[in-house]
């Protein structure tokens, strides 16, 4: 029971590991969306001498395993973003993700990336019998973020989803969904077509200062680069302690049913990507081959595919009991990286961060479970910083690299999640 995404891409050419010593203007660690968007942003700005080093294969991490939702915002709730940054900076910071959604769309077109893109928006279905929740969110988005989310009352919901579970919804019309691994592979091809290099099966083992730049080493080679960008997501381990102690690797899960035929459209007439108003929400979408892709839950540990299939199917049946006989054909997990503040960490390490030899390295991490658009933001921000000397946008400045305290932090994250799950449950009875 592997990943549906891996099973539905054309066969890949064998990995090309790095061999020997090479030079590059910029060396990027990690070929997930953050690393690839940075590489593509650099190539588009005329810096073609870019090499991306990936421990496994392109899109191996969260980027090639996620739900495929492409929508505005960050892992941090929009109301909290507003409270923490104030009206102007919050709107600007959110606006970056809106532009990123649009940039992804344009890149799909410009590079002819065949990634099963479906324009249908994102539907936030209300789990609770309380319309004020939707009205409040709708007002917040219109008044402070300049976006109109459309209210769908319970009586009209049938045209979108046929489940008694929900009490209305909000539709974010500008969102879409896609096959994330196909998009990652398309981005990688665009980087290569622009002159960049991608070396897979090349885990980076050390980053050290060398002259005015860095030496980035793998088991079989090294890159001498003026700039280095660390974009290893929740899979980064034992490379840059100053970054790793500021993020928590957290697992989340996805499954895909067998083809459901006409029943899929009957239950989910909407083309939108769907999630709900709980803290511990389900997220799902109808695939073109009539399957349903279903995701949810977080945990500090990885789980076996059989277990994932079982608990996610239970979640699915709470919403669509008619799918009791549907077989689950794929189930997998992925690691996300989270900061304590739930915002991305985008910046440049300094001696004050205790970065040692990695001082001066750029980083883009901690996109959490809402990272497709924000990784694209990070790519643009870092490409503009490296190629044009642009500053990191104001909105990211308050969110630094606070320690997460390793196992203690993981225990606290698990306890917080359980507490919010309990609150979701109490509110829905």
Ligand X SMILES: Cc1cc2nc3c(=O)[nH]c(=O)nc-3n(C[C@H](O)[C@H](O)[C@H](O)COP(=O)(O)OP(=O)(O)OC[C@H]3O[C@@H](n4cnc5c(N)ncnc54)[C@H](O)[C@@H]3O)c2cc1C
- The site for ligand X (CB under 6 A) is made up of 29-35, 53-56, 60-63, 65-69, 203-204, 231-236, 239, 252, 254, 295, 334, 336, 365, 367-372, 375
CB of residue 272 to ligand X, shortest distance in Å: 13
Query: Nearer Cβ to ligand X, position 365 or 387?
Result: 365
CB of residue 285 to ligand X, shortest distance in Å: 9
The residue with its CB nearest to ligand X is: 371
Measured in whole angstroms, the distance separating CA 232 from the mean position of its chain's CA atoms is 12
From CA 61, how far away is CA 36, in angstroms rounded? 12
Query: Nearer Cβ to ligand X, position 367 or 396?
Result: 367
CB of residue 364 to ligand X, shortest distance in Å: 7
CB of residue 117 to ligand X, shortest distance in Å: 13
CB of residue 7 to ligand X, shortest distance in Å: 16
CB of residue 156 to ligand X, shortest distance in Å: 25
User: Which CA distances in Å does 402 have to 237, 242, 312, 339, 406?
Assistant: 17, 10, 33, 8, 12
Query: Nearer Cβ to ligand X, position 167 or 365?
Result: 365
CB of residue 35 to ligand X, shortest distance in Å: 6
Query: Nearer Cβ to ligand X, position 34 or 361?
Result: 34
Query: Nearer Cβ to ligand X, position 167 or 178?
Result: 178
CB of residue 154 to ligand X, shortest distance in Å: 25
For strands 20-29 and 221-230, give the pairing: parallel
CB of residue 421 to ligand X, shortest distance in Å: 18
Rounded (5°) CA angle 217-223-224:
115
Query: Nearer Cβ to ligand X, position 56 or 290?
Result: 56
SS (H, E, C) the chain: CCCHHHHCCCCCCCCCCCCEEEEEEEEEECCCHHHHHHHHHHHHCCCCCEEEECCCCCCCCHHHCCCCEECCCCCCCHHHHHHHHHHHHHHHHHHHHHHHHHHHHHHHHHCCCCCCCEECCEEEECCCCCHHHHHHHHHHHHHHHCCCCEEECHHHHHHCCCCCCCCCEEEECCCEECCHHHHHHHHHHHHHHCCCEEECCCCEEEEEEECCEEEEEECCEEEEEEEEEECCHHHCCCCCHHHHCCCEEEEEEEEEECCCCHHHHHHCCCCCEEEECCCCCEEEEECCCCCEEEEEEEECCCCCHHHHHHHHHHHHHHHCHHHCCCCEEEEEEEEEEECCCCCCEEEECCHHHCCHHHCCCEEEECCCCCCHHHHHHHHHHHHHHHHHCCCCCHHHCCCCCCCCCHHHHHHHHHHHHHHHHHHHHHHHC
CB of residue 290 to ligand X, shortest distance in Å: 20
Query: Nearer Cβ to ligand X, position 167 or 399?
Result: 399
């Amino acid at each position: 029971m592997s990943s549906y995404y891996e099973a539905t891409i054309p066969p890949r050419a064998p990995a090309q590991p790095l061999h020997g010593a090479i030079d590059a203007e910029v060396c990027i660690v990690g070929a997930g969306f953050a690393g690839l968007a940075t590489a593509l942003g650099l190539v588009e700005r005329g810096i073609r001498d870019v090499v991306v080093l990936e421990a496994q294969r392109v899109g191996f991490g969260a980027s090639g395993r996620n739900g495929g939702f492409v929508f505005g915002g960050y892992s941090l709730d929009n109301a909290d973003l507003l409270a923490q940054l104030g009206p102007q900076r919050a709107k600007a910071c959110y606006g970056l993700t809106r532009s990123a959604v649009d940039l992804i769309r344009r890149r799909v077109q410009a590079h002819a990336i065949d990634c099963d893109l479906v324009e249908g928006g994102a539907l936030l279905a209300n789990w609770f019998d309380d319309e004020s929740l939707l009205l409040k969110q709708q007002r917040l988005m219109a008044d402070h973020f300049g976006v109109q989310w459309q209210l769908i009352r319970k009586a009209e919901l049938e045209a979108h989803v046929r489940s008694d579970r929900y009490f209305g919804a909000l539709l974010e019309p500008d969102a879409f969904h896609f096959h994330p691994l196909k998009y990652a592979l398309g981005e990688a091809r665009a980087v290569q077509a622009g002159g960049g290099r991608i070396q897979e099966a090349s885990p980076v083992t050390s980053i050290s200062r060398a002259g005015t730049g860095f030496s980035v080493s793998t088991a079989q080679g090294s890159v001498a680069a003026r700039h280095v960008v660390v974009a290893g997501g929740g899979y980064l381990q034992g490379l840059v302690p100053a970054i790793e102690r500021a993020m928590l690797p957290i697992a989340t899960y996805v499954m895909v049913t067998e083809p459901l035929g006409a029943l899929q459209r009957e239950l989910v007439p909407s083309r939108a990507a769907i999630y709900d108003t709980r803290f511990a929400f389900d997220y799902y979408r109808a695939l073109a081959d009539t399957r349903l892709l279903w995701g949810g839950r977080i945990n500090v540990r990885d789980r076996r595919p059989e277990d994932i299939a079982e608990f996610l199917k239970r979640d699915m049946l709470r919403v669509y009991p008619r799918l009791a006989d549907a077989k689950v054909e794929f189930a997998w997990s992925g690691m996300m990286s989270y900061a304590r503040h739930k915002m991305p960490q985008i910046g440049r390490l300094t001696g004050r961060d205790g970065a040692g030899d990695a001082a001066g390295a750029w980083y883009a991490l901690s996109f959490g479970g809402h990272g497709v658009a924000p990784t694209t933001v990070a790519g643009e921000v870092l490409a503009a910083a490296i190629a044009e000397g642009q500053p990191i946008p104001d909105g990211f400045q308050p969110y630094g690299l606070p320690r997460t305290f390793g196992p203690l932090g993981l225990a606290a994250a698990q306890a917080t999640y359980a507490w919010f799950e309990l609150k979701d449950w109490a509110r829905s009875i």
